Structure 1
Amino acid sequence: MKKIYTLSALLFSVAVLAQIPAGYYDAATGTGYTLKTQLHNIIKDHTDQGYGGLYETYTASDKDFYYENDGTLLDMYSENPDGEDAYEYTYGSDAQDDGSGGTSEGQKFNREHIIPQSYFSSQSPMRSDAHFVVPTDKYVNAQRNNLPFGKVATANYTSTNGSKRGSNLNSGYSAGYSGTVFEPIDEFKGDIARMFFYFATRYEGQLTDFYTATEATSTQAKVMFDGTEGHTFSPTFLSILLSWNAQDPVSQREIDRNNAIYDRQDNRNPYIDHPEYVTAVWGTIAGTGVYQTIKISVYPNPVTNGQVNISTDAVLNEIQLININGQLVQDIKNPNSVNHTYTITLSGIAKGFYFIKTISADKTNTEKIIVN
């Protein structure tokens, strides 16, 4: 069902470390690939809890306190944000994968590697890194297999929550690839994109070896990557990931998951803590036309009267206000403009730093503002 933020969800957030540790990102001062390397140095050498330890991590990181709000397993491939889930799993039950079942949805759950194991030859600590290994239905996991993520044109398989497999649309932000892809629902596209950005950063220095490994070269796991340590992603899939990151901002669920995994692994996903790092690394330095921005003017800044003006020649489909923790606090769809200026009233917004994200077709822009 639709997101529910109740007392139990708030208590869960407090229980798993409520904020970024002081000074954690002090060394992240650069831009572009320099920033990525600085972030790598911050999050590398995490504590590997082992492949079996993932299930223990999930009992803190992947429980549903946001939709049904019942503490069941939160699976991106079966969760229905707008209605009742077709099935639910409970940790510790006999539904946990034991090598049997999984011939249809709703029988067993297991561990899904968002970056397939075949890409890094099932090596550790990648194999058990909870930042990109998530609990999912076993059958849907098998349907995705090691396919790249993309925008499905015509589906040949659809899960109960609308996740799809089929040929890539090969137009718009997904232009340049026509093979088979897997597409999650809109609710979780940003989550998955930020897992890829984490992987590219945490395992910098090993990416070239992953790309040239025999197992990786023989599978579809390779096509999302370009074999470099810096840019990391092939153009089509960088475009897809950047678009999904922009379309689906960081949620409270992601923040809580990041905190819970930090409590177990001693490292964090920096692109959840600081969403602006994504474009600082790939958007402004490595975009090369793949990720386009909208030219806008935002004023007054600082905002003093609760209103902010956005002047642009682009037609905006959506304007989002995001707080410094990456949480979406105001979302205006199909806003109206007068003489190319959009005037937005910031309702009930506390003083502080925020990001204004503007979205127009396949273009986006993010500007930092101060609310006084």
Structure 2
Amino acid sequence: MKKITLSIVLLLSGIAFAQIPSGYYSTATGTGFALKTQLHNIIKNHIDNTYGGLYTTYQTSDVKPNGSVWDMYTNCDFIFGTVANGGQQDNGTNVTAECQLFNREHTIPQSYFGSGAVPMYSDAHFVLPADKKVNATRDDFPYGVVVNATYTSNNGAKLGNNLNSGYSAGYTGTVFEPADQYKGDIARLMFYFATRYEDLLTSFYSSTSTAKVMFDGTSNHSFSTTFLKIFITWHNNDPVSPKEIARNNAIYARQSNRNPFIDHPEYVCQIWSVECTALSSASFLTDDAVNIYPNPTNGNQVSIQTNETITKLVLININGQIIKEINNPTFVNQVYELANLPQGFFLLQLSSDKGNVTKKIILN
């Protein structure tokens, strides 16, 4: 087990430090919206591998360590390939529950930019593999913070009215909220779309799509205030993961363009500095506010030390499956003992009223 664990750690470490192609961002020298336009010029004119080609791209960009499809809307272990060949790729039949078929989810719905319009239609950076049932439930609703869920997927993604409070204040309609461990991923896909298609955003805004509320019709600022605050908060609370870096590299190999906000997370606040400054005046749960020890450990428990009020602990394995979920854990002298843990590499998500933070845990 120690050898297996070490291999996993080395693999993830290698992914985390994958090199950005030399000189790729050499012309990104500005700040504010000038920087956004410079990034647009770097990542535009990507190779369109067609809508059908997305299923080929997913086999390298969205594959779990166990070889199944990595779907951010569920914990299902979908099998790559057509149904005729033993896979679970959508074949057009109706589904009645999760984990039956997977298809392609436009995180910015087609109804916003035009059904089948290229190259948006088949851009793997923001078109994800997704459970067919959850994809249909999400429909073309914007992303947001759900206050009362009318639907919850098996990994915690939710549908319901937006919480008109805090960083999500300003909208009360129906929204789709991804699971905590993927909120930063989704936010960085939003920033990619607004940058890659900067020159088309004003024309997209004529749409009547429900998702239109996420945008403001401009090519530079791009987002309406409420949703920009949501995406910046998710971006800050859920940092870039090894999964995202690996995905970015795999899509670059297929499309020849990258998501700048995965390679350089700091670009977000260099572009949308006004909103970042306003949000920074609020308190957020930061990585250094939480200490986990011993880590790595040869035992089956770790201690979590923090002065913050933690409302939920979620332990996730490398396949994206939730191993433990503890609501309102009781800390004694600012310490909580997380016990009875299996061996392996895990992500521990801690939630509070100030946001979320994710820590890596290794149990040998």
Normalised by the length of structure 2, the TM-score is: 0.74
1:219-255 CA distances to partner (integer Å, 9 max, x unpaired)? 2021100000011000110010011001100000000
Question: Do 1:318 and 1:360's aligned partners in 2 also have CA atoms closer than 8 Å?
Answer: no
How far apart, in 2, do the equivalents of 1:209 and 1:335 lie?
A: 48
Q: How does 1:83-102 map to 2 (within 5 A)?
A: 87-94=76-83, 95-102=88-95
How far apart, in 2, do the equivalents of 1:43 and 1:333 lie?
A: 42
Amino acid of the residue matched to residue 104 of structure 2? R
How far apart, in 2, do the equivalents of 1:101 and 1:293 lie?
A: 46
Whether 1:77 aligns to 2:73 is yes
Question: Do 1:17 and 1:259's aligned partners in 2 also have CA atoms closer than 8 Å?
Answer: no
1:46–1:137 CA distance, 2 compared to 1 (3 A): same
Question: Do 1:319 and 1:333's aligned partners in 2 also have CA atoms closer than 8 Å?
Answer: no
* Greater fraction of residues in helix: 2
Question: Do 1:40 and 1:203's aligned partners in 2 also have CA atoms closer than 8 Å?
Answer: yes
Look up the SS of the partner of 1:24 in the other structure.
Answer: coil
Whether 1:292 aligns to 2:279 is yes
Unaligned runs of 5+ in 2: 290-303, 309-350, 357-364
Deviation at residue 10 of structure 1 after TM alignment: 5.4
1:239–1:5 CA distance, 2 compared to 1 (3 A): farther
Deviation at residue 190 of structure 1 after TM alignment: 0.2
Name 1:115's counterpart in structure 2.
Answer: 108
Question: Do 1:130 and 1:261's aligned partners in 2 also have CA atoms closer than 8 Å?
Answer: yes
Look up the SS of the partner of 1:268 in the other structure.
Answer: coil
Q: Percent identity?
A: 57
Name 1:350's counterpart in structure 2.
Answer: none
Q: How does 1:117-266 map to 2 (within 5 A)?
A: 117-122=110-115, 123-212=117-206, 216-217=207-208, 219-266=209-256
Deviation at residue 14 of structure 1 after TM alignment: 6.6
Question: Do 2:158 and 2:178's aligned partners in 1 also have CA atoms closer than 8 Å?
Answer: yes
How far apart, in 1, do the equivalents of 2:202 and 2:226 lie?
A: 19
How far apart, in 1, do the equivalents of 2:89 and 2:165 lie?
A: 39
1:316-360 CA distances to partner (integer Å, 9 max, x unpaired)? 632359xxxxxxxxxx97359xxxxxxxxxxxxxxxxxxxxxx99
RMSD of aligned Cα (Å) = 2.7
1:134-155 CA distances to partner (integer Å, 9 max, x unpaired)? 0010000000010000000001
1:108–1:8 CA distance, 2 compared to 1 (3 A): same
Deviation at residue 90 of structure 1 after TM alignment: 1.1
**Between Structure 1 and Structure 2, how many residues are aligned?**
292
Whether 1:105 aligns to 2:70 is no
Q: How does 1:6-17 map to 2 (within 5 A)?
A: 7=7
Look up the SS of the partner of 2:81 in the other structure.
Answer: coil
How far apart, in 1, do the equivalents of 2:24 and 2:143 lie?
A: 31
Question: Do 1:293 and 1:363's aligned partners in 2 also have CA atoms closer than 8 Å?
Answer: no
1:105–1:195 CA distance, 2 compared to 1 (3 A): same
Question: Do 1:316 and 1:335's aligned partners in 2 also have CA atoms closer than 8 Å?
Answer: no
Name 2:54's counterpart in structure 1.
Answer: 54
How far apart, in 1, do the equivalents of 2:144 and 2:185 lie?
A: 14
Deviation at residue 102 of structure 1 after TM alignment: 2.1
Name 2:346's counterpart in structure 1.
Answer: none
Name 2:318's counterpart in structure 1.
Answer: none
Deviation at residue 273 of structure 1 after TM alignment: 0.1
Look up the SS of the partner of 1:205 in the other structure.
Answer: helix
Name 2:342's counterpart in structure 1.
Answer: none
Off by >4 Å, runs of 4+ in structure 1: 8-17, 359-364
Q: How does 1:269-284 map to 2 (within 5 A)?
A: 269-282=259-272, 284=273
Question: Do 2:62 and 2:70's aligned partners in 1 also have CA atoms closer than 8 Å?
Answer: yes
Question: Do 1:173 and 1:362's aligned partners in 2 also have CA atoms closer than 8 Å?
Answer: no
Question: Do 1:208 and 1:227's aligned partners in 2 also have CA atoms closer than 8 Å?
Answer: yes
1:14–1:360 CA distance, 2 compared to 1 (3 A): closer
Name 1:342's counterpart in structure 2.
Answer: none
1:237–1:254 CA distance, 2 compared to 1 (3 A): same
Unaligned runs of 5+ in 1: 80-86, 295-313, 322-331, 337-358, 365-372
1:235–1:182 CA distance, 2 compared to 1 (3 A): same
Deviation at residue 12 of structure 1 after TM alignment: 8.7
Question: Do 2:284 and 2:355's aligned partners in 1 also have CA atoms closer than 8 Å?
Answer: no
Look up the SS of the partner of 1:167 in the other structure.
Answer: strand
How far apart, in 1, do the equivalents of 2:57 and 2:107 lie?
A: 16
